[in-house]
């Protein structure tokens, strides 16, 4: 497996009895119930620790995970759930990660290791244990092809919304989030508050070149919502469109025209707190 893919691939996994050290809530995590098997695939959590807990109460996690293909065929996707529990067994958080090989299967009998650094969450309680279960396994033949954005394509079309549909059924709300190092601000546009101009700027944004640049702790987003309760989100790493093909395999694309939307949103940004507790 090439080093670039190893660097990008990661798995949401955790474990267990918290050993405090350094900052409050930081330290190594003792492993417990750290393996799961399904259809000839085994996932193992090799190491876990909390490296930091910031002023906003957000904990940062580092993990090391391995996947073993014990079956007789190449495996392209493994989906599994990780239930983070407190000392009483109450669920604090459910991760629903997915390994996705993209163009490279885990061969029959193959073994892969992954380092996962800097994942974060604000929890209502202290993590003490983890249970791991595999929910799905797909072989090379079963996995559908990935469709990635093309240069020059409209951002909304890359997200599955045609320009005609956007114009005939525009969103009732546009939410822009700027999250830098755990400090989250949002601008919310509605019919009474700048929605028309935000929509006009958004629908002209186009996909640019694919890039390798990744900026740590700059996880931004654009969320469109409609009155029927449906929504569509676009993930940004700083100012680049971020597309996941699973298991933390990412593609990054420059966005032409994004600057105008961000400049318009800037005076509307207000600080918000992270949602804590359950959810994935």
How confident is the model over 141-158, as pLDDT tens digits? Answer: 786 667 899 999 999 999
Quick one: pLDDT at residue 103? 67
With tokens 């951002």, the residue in question is: 155
Q: What is the pLDDT at residue 3?
A: 33
Question: In this predicted model, what pLDDT tens digit does every residue of 166-206 receive, in sequence order?
Answer: 999 999 999 999 988 778 899 999 999 999 999 999 999 99
User: Which is it for strands 206-211 and 270-272: parallel, antiparallel or unpaired?
Assistant: unpaired
Q: Concatenate the DSSP letters of all residues of 116-148 into one string.
A: EEEEEE--SS---EEEEEEEEEEETTTSPPP--
Q: What is the pLDDT of residue 201?
A: 97
Intervals of the chain under pLDDT 70: 1-25, 102-103, 143-145, 246-248, 273-280
Q: What is the DSSP letter of 68?
A: E
How far apart are the C-alpha atoms of 236 and 261, rounded to whole Å? 13
Q: Residue 5 has what pLDDT?
A: 37
Contact between 249 and 8 under an 8 Å Cβ cutoff? The reply is: yes
For 233-250, letters b (16+ CB in 10 Å) and e give: ebbbbbebbbbebbbbbb
Instruction: Write the pLDDT tens digit of every residue in 195-205.
Output: 999 999 999 99
Mark out the alpha helices in 10-130 (DSSP H runs). none
Residues 6+ apart with CB under 8 A from 4: none
Phi, psi of 179 (to 5 degrees): -120, 105
CA atoms within 13 A on the CB side of 271: 4
End-to-end Cα, the chain, rounded Å: 29
Say what the pTM is.
0.55
């Amino acid at each position: 497996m090439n080093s670039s893919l190893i660097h990008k691939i990661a798995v949401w996994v955790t474990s267990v009895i918290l050993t405090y050290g350094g900052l409050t809530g930081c330290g190594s995590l003792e492993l417990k119930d750290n393996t799961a098997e399904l259809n000839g695939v085994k996932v193992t959590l090799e190491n876990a620790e909390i490296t930091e807990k910031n002023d906003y109460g957000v904990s940062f996690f580092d993990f090391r995970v391995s996947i073993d293909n014990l079956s007789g065929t190449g495996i392209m996707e493994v989906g599994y759930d990780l239930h983070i529990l407190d000392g009483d067994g109450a669920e604090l958080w459910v991760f629903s990660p997915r390994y996705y090989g993209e163009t490279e299967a885990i061969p029959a009998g193959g073994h892969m290791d992954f380092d996962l650094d800097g994942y974060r969450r604000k929890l209502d309680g202290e993590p003490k244990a983890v249970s791991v279960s595999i929910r799905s396994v797909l072989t090379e033949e079963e996995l559908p092809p990935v469709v990635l954005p093309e240069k020059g394509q409209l951002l909304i079309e890359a997200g599955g919304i045609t320009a005609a549909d956007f114009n005939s059924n525009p969103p009732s709300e546009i939410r822009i989030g700027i999250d830098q190092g755990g400090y989250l601000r949002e601008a919310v546009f509605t019919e009474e508050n700048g929605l028309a101009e935000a929509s006009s700027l958004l629908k002209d944004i186009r996909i640019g070149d694919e890039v390798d640049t990744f900026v740590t702790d700059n996880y931004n987003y654009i969320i469109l919502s409609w009155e029927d309760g449906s929504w569509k989100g676009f993930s940004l790493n700083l100012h680049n469109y971020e597309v996941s093909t699973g298991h933390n395999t990412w593609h990054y694309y420059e966005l032409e025209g994004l600057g105008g939307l961000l400049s318009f949103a800037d005076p509307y940004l207000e600080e918000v707190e992270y949602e804590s507790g359950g959810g994935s």
